[in-house]
Structure 1
Amino acid sequence: MRTNRIKFLLSAGAFAMCAAAQPLWAQAADDGAESGDDAIIVSGIRKSLSDAADIKREASGVVDAISAEDIGKFPDANLAESLQRISGVSIDRSNNEGNQVTVRGFGPGFNLVTLNERQMPNSSSLQSAGISRSFNFRDLASEGVSAVEVYKTGRADIVSGGLGATINIRTPRPLDTPGFRAVASAKANWDTSTEVGSKVTPEVTGLLSTTFGDDRFGVLVIGSYSERNSRKERTGTQGWVRNRGNRANPNLDLSAIDTSANPTQAFWTPWTVDMDVWDSKRKRTNGQIVLQAEPVDGLTITADYTMSRYKERTQMHRMAFWFDRPDIATADANGTLVDVTTLNDNLDFWAWDFYQSTRNDSFGGNIKWDVTDNLSFELDAHDSTSHSNPNTKDGQTAETLSNLRNPIGSVASISGNFSGKIPAVSFDDSTLAGGAENFANVVSDLYQKRGYEVENNIRQIQAAGKWSSDDGALKAINFGVDYTDYKVDTLLSATFRFVNVPLGGLDFSFVPRGSTLDQFKGADQLFPQIPIYSATEFVGIVEDAGLFAIDPPALNGVREKTKSAFMSFDLETDFNAMPVKINAGIRYEKTNVSAYTVQNGIVALNFRHPQELQVIRDTTPARQELKGDYDVFLPNVDFRIDLTDDLVARASYSKTIARSSLSAMFPATNFLNSRPGGPFIVSQGNPGLLPYTSNNIDLSLEWYYKPSSYVSVGVFKKWVDNFIGAVTNRGPVLNANGEPLRDPSVNPRPGCPDSSATPNPACLSAPGDPIVTWDINTVGNLQSASVQGLEATVQHVFGDTGFGVMLNGTLVDGNIDLDPYNFSQILALTGLSNSYNLVGFYEKNGLQARVAYNWRDKFLLSLGAEPVNTAAYGQLDASISYDINENVTVFAEGLNLLNATTRRYGRFEEQLLDAEQYGARYAFGVRAKF
């Protein structure tokens, strides 16, 4: 692989990575002061805000930015946490840490993240996380970043893929700041939620930049290492199912349902109520090496290598209560069963072991040549790979789970009330000697091992040129071509088995887990007892019993080869003595897509368990490949007029695209549900999907009324075509011989079901069995939609007092909302939510303090068979630092100071899916620069 990378870079004629324009942290910032002894040198927070305002003011189109306050000092420890301070940008969190962003209501898959204007790969080990194109900000330490730019309007010279926005991360270069610079920082992170491992964990960072040979050669090295231990506590359900229950049951009370809104009296039952604790240990290592040379004036050669290593292990323990077949229940006006009792059921005791490992490596090179004062060329190439769970072939699986339970019918009753924010659950286990939590009353149920190994490789060559002139209205012509080879290969391992093994060798216990956090009312009752045991240990017992079996892994992949060309023009003129700037351009792209699946052929269904029809495959892998292609023209026009020296008006039109999700294009047939009696559900991909396309209009007015201070108001509208929606077809699924699969559970033969590891031939599909009719879920380009919104920002510095504020907010709306009573709806706009940010700061005499509050309104997260909504969320963060002298600074940070909790629900707020709490996090440290 390394040799191939080197050959690739040499073939591009590049030794080095992009020699970008002078990074923001290196720019002088005198805030307009005169030179001389009385000059005011702006630094820290105010410098960061001033630089960001300058970028916004001078840009073509609508651009927002965040810049470093100093070399190696970004405003937040997490890039996503910083980005949420920009109007229109919201973040998604994982374990209370920002990891991906939503821009103007468009989620992570609709936004493109680039590193120094290069598209970056992404991968994930967990099947539940899916396969995303969107870069995960948790993989990158903020200390190695000089600026983040958010391009909200499209431009011809920017790589396509960002329908909501293109987010460019800039990193420092040694020749941009000649001389010697060094920064080192160390801090202790204190996570108040931690109960397993140390509550205090280390984070260290070092940066070294130096130039030599009359500043014609430079080296920059950045390294960082961090650890974090944390706990998440959750209560929730495994979803709500519609009309599961016997309407004729006299104990099912549907009388309160509002039939004017719900004429069919549809009702929803929770599958389970779950109470979880998640204990995680994370390690992250980042590094970057940059080599630069300017052997002659006007010729700059740059080479770099950027890497990250991310590892996280999580143990999760769960107590679950089943409500899927209600015996006694009462519905509210919406149809949600808010008071449910099941009789003669069982409790479930779960354990999960999660393992995530991601390796990111990027090799790049760049040559920039100023041929004359008016003509310059740039050649850039990179080879970047993200590889998750690289040890899958050696048996390392990302997720191992097991389930224990009481024998079915052993618990007299389980009751739940769902009318509040969180459910209230009770159970009667008087029919069990010693109670449900007595290990003698616990039996084995099932195990599952699943996970992805994903390798995402991007090879990209970009060649660009610029002709500029100081004469006439035409100031510049920008032109270029680029080629991107985007390739993702996945190995999916997924095994699900019901087992019956003796549990005598399992280290099992119940531990009182009174919540250490207090945001959930009744928390002490919410987590009374949690089962503690190892899922991996349980699987070992299954293996020792000779009952362990694993399904053959499935290989899936997508390869996209995109050729692009662009040209744009910069014009400047006057209109009624007001300066006017226009950027007009067009980008053409041609993309060829090929998708493949390698799977063992399907033989039959095996009636293995009363709740399982196992899919039996042969031992012969077969490859299936499908192709597609499309081309697009992406025009843009940006108009800017300086109405006065301080007042700027803009109007922009652009066309942007976002490519479809990767997993949606895999040709594989995946069995999602195959239980006796149904449902029978499979999914299949569609590599012929077209990209989402959006025609965008932006209008804004900006008033830069004093240094570092401005007011901005903008409106936008997006008309989006080719939205991908779910399509369900009904029909048979064929086996390897081209024959439809049949159901052996309808008229079972003697000895069936049989849960032995080796299938019983009598329990397999036979010619006389009925043919199964499957729901075949696929996707297609179905509908169009529109989104409109308003953004406003106020940034104000109160003279030389040291105080300042930044306020911004976004209102966003779309034309396709979720109708909770439309059960055939296949499209609703996800991620749309209003948001606002309040930031106050003080910086003077070496003391720096900042308080930030971010709020995001409720929004639709996803739309499937049943929708998932996310409730409103607000988080308060703060930081303070003091410069002991010009070289040494001590600091403290606090995140989620109000202990905010997240909540997700189904069609209605009563239909709780997840309520999670994490606790506050603090950091204390010291930073030194030389």
Structure 2
Amino acid sequence: MSHRKTLLAASIIATLCVSGALYAQDTTQTTTTSTGVGALTRSQDTAQNSGNSAANAKQLATVTVTGIRASLQASMDTKRNADAIVDAITAEDIGKFPATNVAEALAQVPGVTLDRSIPGTQRVSIDGMDPSLNVSLLDGHPVAQAVWLFGDSPNRGFNYSLLPPEILGQLEIIKSPEARIVEGSLGGTVLMHTVQPLDVASGTISGSFGANYNDMVGSSRPNGSVFYSWHNSDKTFGVDVSAGHYEEFTSREGMENYGYTSVSSLNTSALAAGNTAIQNELNAGQIKPGDQVPNEVSASNFQQTEKRDSVLVNLQYRPNQNFESTLSLMYMRDNLNNVNQSMYPWATNQPGGITSLVEGPNGIIVGGTQAGTPCLNSTTCTSTANTTMDNYARGSTVTTKGVDWKGTYYGDGWRLAADLGVSASRNPMTQANKEIYYGGAFDWSLYSGAQYTDPSTANNPAYWADNGWGGNYETILYKSRDTYGQVDFSKDFDGFFNELLVGARYASHWESQVENAFTGAQVLTLDQIGYGGLTNLSGLSDLGLTDSFITHVQTAGYNAIRNAVLSTPGFGNARDANVYFDNTWAIQQQNTAAYVQANFGTDDVHGNVGVRFVHTQFTSSGYNVPTQCSVNDTFDCVFPTGFGWVTQKSSFTNWLPAVNVAWNITPDLILRGAASETVAYAPYNEMAPYFEANDNVLTAAGGNPDLKPYRSANFDSSLEWYFNDHSMFAASVFYKDVLNYIVNAATIQTRVNGSWTLPGYLQAAGNAQVAAGLCTAAGICQYDVTAPVNGGRAKVKGGTLSYQQAFGDSGFGVRANYTYSDGSTHTGGAMPYNSKNSYNIAPYFEQGPYSASLSYNWRSSYLAGGYVAGAASTYVDGFKELDGSAAYQINKNLSVSFNMLNLLNSKYYAYLGSKTQLSEEYVTGRQYMLEAHFKF
């Protein structure tokens, strides 16, 4: 047994000794039944691995509160009565505080931070941990989720933007694990509960309809939802239906840069082209050989129209007090088609045209000039300046279906529950790309972008065209499937230990993708593709970027880009072998678990102690292709032994002890302590043998089937003071000692450029890569490859402060929280998504028919991943957001609300190393939502 495990076991024993001493001081020895999460040990919630008591099921129905105070009190009561360290929010929180999705509602919880790298919040961190290291469950079961963005890196973090908040009644965030809770989380477990039909009045119908508007795109979209619930007069059978339609037009506008090149390397290529401008500046001491030059500054415009439809049906059967059964059916279809336009004047692609470079702080070149001559109506332009505009039309429709059943039999002091279900999600993504070219001269700045020397020519579509390469068309069929089944048994006892829980669970997750790229698209001018006029990117104006970035040519949009590629005569016959072999993979994870847990309690102390056994098996599959086949980029390949479709298996066994103790020092003052050991797992694709490359910028991402699970010893404690029915102050501390923390390692790998044999690629990009010394004439290139490795130990320590209070009968109140989280690997490196400081302040007012609230969130800088395949990990600067909400209750059946999000239009700024080394910066605009709500 390792020394670390010995320390954990000793801590658990010490905690039990404290609880035993407290019990010995209680001469009455009265057994109490806790509510909240503690009571969920008697629930049907599979996440809690036991069956639901009728009393607790009714408690969930109380989320149909009618005011902010009642809502906050319900959330506070859940926290107060729990055995573990828990936070909760209710449906009213989602409705009365500014939020468009579940993630934004979770931002009100201490320790929760959001990453806003793209419109539609996806990633949620808890206590400073990577979003992939959380577990999110809907009514106790997993929900399969396919990747929605072409080229994005899959992660285990739940994509809350795909889940309509209308179907939820309450959410709980469990921060200190219990043995009965599903494994897989280092940060926290998010339990999302839907409303059950036997817990609300028969004939209940409610819903909303309205519109949302984004000021940066100047467009509004409709949304609406309806909930209906019915049960018979005996309350033995009921059904409820939640249905919703949501649309949102979003945009992300900004500037990007893909990597840096040293001045010395750039000068070598410039001298080879007969250009001495860089050498002259080196000789004059104006710049240094080791200075880093941004490869390009890119004007980026991402636009997406989301159309989401969802239906959730619950059928509940309770013929008597001894038996209960629920069948849940789920269907979600989320259309997320988008267009991503990146216009990047290259600073390093044509060294022969560089006339000057400007050195800035920290050895970063922050500006320069590029000479060049534009070409009129030419698809074979040669110039010493290179501006390339990528135009990606991406089709994305995520379809998710699920069926889940749970049944519980209540005996005399015992319960037996069974749960099983399956959910599947698929997304047949597509991506059409037209990469047009302009050869005119420009000045560029890392602070303000590029400005063309002759704007009138640059804004003339006749000077833009494909340049030897007509783009391509790619498809990814992405699939995800979860199946599970479990059995739970609990038995009540008299005495200090009042309940014993045992259970077993099997879960299987399958994730796969098949990627194809079709080449040979026709070479066209911009007019032939479809000219869409000049841009008017107000977001770039807000960032202080140049006129050429704000106003430049563009295509006619999604359909024009797709048609220009797909209308090529005979298109679709030429399929790229390297893309298929490198990016087609599958992985299955199978978890077999069993647990035993004892709950204990008196009037003054309650909690639980238990252990969970988990056996995990991974099966990773992908292609291993001989080098010669990659060089020839061909499907006509003979695979020797050990090549072709290969499969690798690995398995791991873990024992996970956990203890939680809550001591009621006084009726209003509660001290909690918890110790546990947990495991979590790397994102699925990271465990697959794949290689996803961006041939234009020579970056790539790879997988590693040899990754081991994360393992962590965790210690948590909190002190909570409930000084009236609507008010509390709480302080908590947490410490996580992670034995195996997976990190991304960057390496330089010599690989075959998969695009080298594509028609026109050499002229468009390859020749410049050869001139820069990055590739050989045969297309053997130096790729910056990022891949995960077993990174050794890491530690996270920190704490939270949370406060909420209603100020008498004034109608005013406030809730606020602050989180400190200090995380680092054993080498001192940063941990992804870990902000050292974050806080939220949310004052509110509610009196009579009026209610209003504000919410201000801020988080300090943190490490995040690269945006495109293999892009270097970036740091994100501190981010702030101000949101507001106002509502008016017309009568008991009707109300209206107005939500305002991102009122500051805050800048998302990412950098490499120092803040002077730009990676990307974006704004997404302010969003306004006007809705009418009804309830009968």
Report the TM-score range of the alignment, normalised by the length of the smaller protein.
0.7 to 0.9
Deviates more, 1:458-467 or 1:242-251: 242-251
CA deviation after TM superposition for structure 1 residue 787, in Å: 0.9
Q: Deviations over 1:755-799 (max 9, x none)?
A: 9xxxxxxxxxxxx99999988765431311101112000100111
State the match for 1:569 in structure 2. 598
State the match for 2:266 in structure 1. 245
Aligned counterparts, 1:178-577, within 5 A:
178-195=201-218, 199-242=219-262, 244-246=265-267, 249-252=279-282, 266-324=290-348, 325=351, 327-343=355-371, 344-372=384-412, 374-389=413-428, 397-406=429-438, 410-411=439-440, 413-418=441-446, 422-429=447-454, 437-440=460-463, 442-446=465-469, 447-469=471-493, 471-494=494-517, 505-508=528-531, 510-513=533-536, 515=538, 519-521=542-544, 526-533=549-556, 534-540=560-566, 542-543=568-569, 549-551=575-577, 553-554=580-581, 555-573=584-602
Letter in 1 for 2:918: L
State the distance in 2 between where 1:752 and 1:128 align.
20
State the match for 1:760 in structure 2. none
Letter in 1 for 2:62: Q
Higher strand share: 1
Deviates more, 1:89-98 or 1:892-901: 89-98
Of 651, 660, 681, the residue aligned with 2:682 is 660
**Counterpart secondary structure, 1:118:** coil
Change in CA separation of 1:201 and 1:253 when aligned onto 2, cut-off 3 Å: farther
Letter in 1 for 2:703: G
Aligned counterparts, 1:577-588, within 5 A:
579-588=604-613
**Counterpart secondary structure, 1:490:** strand
Letter in 1 for 2:341: H
Of 53, 61, 65, the residue aligned with 2:88 is 65
**Counterpart secondary structure, 2:821:** strand
**Counterpart secondary structure, 2:336:** strand
Higher helix share: 2
Letter in 2 for 1:297: Q
Query: Are the equivalent residues in 2 in contact too, given 1:278–1:315 (CA < 8 A)?
Result: yes
Check if 1:895 corresponds to 2:901: yes
State the match for 2:19 in structure 1. none
**Counterpart secondary structure, 1:553:** helix
Change in CA separation of 1:129 and 1:62 when aligned onto 2, cut-off 3 Å: same
Check if 1:847 corresponds to 2:850: yes
Q: Deviations over 1:188-210 (max 9, x none)?
A: 22222225xxx222111111111
Letter in 2 for 1:594: T
Query: Are the equivalent residues in 1 in contact too, given 2:733–2:799 (CA < 8 A)?
Result: yes
CA deviation after TM superposition for structure 1 residue 274, in Å: 1.3
Letter in 2 for 1:468: D
**Counterpart secondary structure, 1:98:** coil
Aligned counterparts, 1:590-739, within 5 A:
590-598=615-623, 603-604=628-629, 615-618=633-636, 622-668=644-690, 673=695, 684-726=702-744
State the distance in 2 between where 1:95 and 1:287 align.
26
Deviates more, 1:584-593 or 1:347-356: 347-356
Change in CA separation of 1:496 and 1:250 when aligned onto 2, cut-off 3 Å: farther
* TM-score (normalised: structure 2): 0.82
CA deviation after TM superposition for structure 1 residue 254, in Å: 9.9
State the match for 1:131 in structure 2. 154
**Counterpart secondary structure, 1:688:** coil
Query: Are the equivalent residues in 1 in contact too, given 2:172–2:192 (CA < 8 A)?
Result: yes
Of 792, 795, 805, the residue aligned with 1:796 is 805
Aligned counterparts, 1:47-126, within 5 A:
47-69=70-92, 76-93=99-116, 95-126=118-149
Q: Deviations over 1:505-556 (max 9, x none)?
A: 3323541525278532357564022322432233136446899654473531
Change in CA separation of 1:658 and 1:28 when aligned onto 2, cut-off 3 Å: closer
State the distance in 2 between where 1:414 and 1:620 align.
49
Query: Are the equivalent residues in 2 in contact too, given 1:18–1:365 (CA < 8 A)?
Result: no
Query: Are the equivalent residues in 2 in contact too, given 1:72–1:144 (CA < 8 A)?
Result: no
Deviates more, 1:901-910 or 1:459-468: 901-910
Query: Are the equivalent residues in 2 in contact too, given 1:659–1:691 (CA < 8 A)?
Result: yes
Change in CA separation of 1:441 and 1:705 when aligned onto 2, cut-off 3 Å: closer
Q: Deviations over 1:436-489 (max 9, x none)?
A: 7451464435313334321111111121111123x3211111111000011112
Query: Are the equivalent residues in 2 in contact too, given 1:890–1:925 (CA < 8 A)?
Result: yes
State the match for 1:759 in structure 2. none
State the match for 1:906 in structure 2. 912
Higher relative contact order (CA 8 A, sep 6+): 2
Change in CA separation of 1:804 and 1:817 when aligned onto 2, cut-off 3 Å: farther
Change in CA separation of 1:800 and 1:499 when aligned onto 2, cut-off 3 Å: same
CA deviation after TM superposition for structure 1 residue 902, in Å: 1.6
Letter in 2 for 1:642: N
Query: Are the equivalent residues in 2 in contact too, given 1:252–1:328 (CA < 8 A)?
Result: no
CA deviation after TM superposition for structure 1 residue 728, in Å: 6.9
Instruction: Provide the identity percentage.
Output: 24
Q: What is the alpha-carbon root mean square deviation over aligned residues?
A: 3.6
The count of aligned residue pairs is 834
Letter in 2 for 1:382: G
State the distance in 2 between where 1:333 and 1:666 align.
40
Gaps of 5+ in 1: 1-11, 30-41, 258-263, 390-396, 607-613, 734-740, 756-767, 820-824
Change in CA separation of 1:181 and 1:546 when aligned onto 2, cut-off 3 Å: closer
Query: Are the equivalent residues in 2 in contact too, given 1:460–1:485 (CA < 8 A)?
Result: yes
State the match for 2:57 in structure 1. 22
State the distance in 1 between where 2:237 and 2:286 align.
77
Deviates more, 1:860-869 or 1:228-237: 860-869
Change in CA separation of 1:778 and 1:441 when aligned onto 2, cut-off 3 Å: closer
**Counterpart secondary structure, 1:80:** helix
Q: Deviations over 1:264-295 (max 9, x none)?
A: 97432111111133332110011111111111
* TM-score (normalised: structure 1): 0.83
Query: Are the equivalent residues in 2 in contact too, given 1:18–1:302 (CA < 8 A)?
Result: no
CA deviation after TM superposition for structure 1 residue 928, in Å: 1.2
Aligned counterparts, 1:37-52, within 5 A:
43-52=66-75
CA deviation after TM superposition for structure 1 residue 71, in Å: 11
Deviates more, 1:860-869 or 1:312-321: 860-869
Query: Are the equivalent residues in 2 in contact too, given 1:501–1:545 (CA < 8 A)?
Result: no
Query: Are the equivalent residues in 2 in contact too, given 1:113–1:168 (CA < 8 A)?
Result: yes
Check if 1:836 corresponds to 2:839: yes
State the distance in 2 between where 1:313 and 1:278 align.
11
